[in-house]
């Protein structure tokens, strides 16, 4: 299982993941403001602009963020042997699926708004956005309070182990295999 534990997310990569959470939070706030704007002003140039930027962000950057977590953060934690931690990671993986499913329902409506159409059902859109906002915010809170600290501690532990081993040394002559 040594190949599964590849948590090279020390320092820089965690800073990038944290920064992405800040971007996600900002776009979630913008999405909340957009739904209020649509209720007050309808589909105008501002709503079109916001819908376009929010849709682009969640359809690309946010999805890549989840892929990065799945590939770089979760594997080592799943291999940790800590049952509670593994259960939390599994729940977050399930959240990723639900977030994606919710997004697949919202994205076409936002693309339509960005194109100037107003065929969406305001009550359905508002409900969908409220569910998406709550799920994403709870998901980020759990990652930042449990998963990221655990992953950072695990990465630091691996770095200490690697440093304690010292550099590899090679001899001039390799032993014969015969």
- Given a contact cutoff of 8 angstroms between Cβ atoms, the answer to whether 133 and 28 are in contact is yes
What does the pLDDT look like over 144-165, one tens digit per residue?
999 888 888 887 787 777 777 7
Tens digit of each residue's pLDDT (9 = 90 or more) over 29-84: 999 999 999 999 999 999 999 999 999 999 999 999 999 999 999 998 999 999 99
Alpha carbon distance 25, 20 (integer Å): 8
Percent of the chain topping pLDDT 70 = 86
| Class of the domain covering 12-159 | mainly alpha
What does the domain layout of the chain look like in residue ranges? 12-159
Nearest Cα to 119, choosing from 111, 127, 129?
A: 111
Q: How far is residue 135's CA from residue 129's CA, in Å, rounded to a whole number? A: 10
Tokens at residue 43, please?
A: 């589909």
96-124 pLDDT, tens per residue? 999 999 999 999 999 999 999 998 899 99
Give the total residue count for the chain.
178
């Amino acid at each position: 299982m040594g190949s599964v534990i590849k948590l090279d997310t020390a320092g820089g990569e965690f800073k990038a993941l944290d920064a992405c959470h800040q971007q996600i939070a900002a776009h979630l706030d913008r999405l909340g403001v957009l739904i209020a704007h649509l209720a007050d002003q309808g589909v105008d140039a501002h709503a079109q602009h916001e819908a376009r930027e929010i849709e682009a962000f969640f359809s690309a950057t946010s999805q890549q963020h989840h892929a990065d977590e799945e590939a770089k953060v979760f594997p080592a934690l799943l291999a940790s042997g800590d049952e509670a931690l593994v259960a939390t990671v599994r729940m977050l993986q399930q959240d990723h699926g639900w977030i994606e499913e919710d997004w697949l329902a919202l994205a076409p409506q936002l693309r339509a708004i960005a194109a100037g159409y107003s065929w969406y059902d305001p009550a359905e859109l508002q409900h969908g956005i409220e569910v998406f906002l709550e799920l994403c915010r709870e998901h980020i809170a759990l990652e930042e309070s449990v998963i990221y600290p655990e992953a950072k501690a695990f990465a630091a532990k691996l770095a200490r182990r690697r440093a304690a081993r010292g550099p590899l040394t090679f001899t001039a002559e390799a032993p014969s295999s015969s």
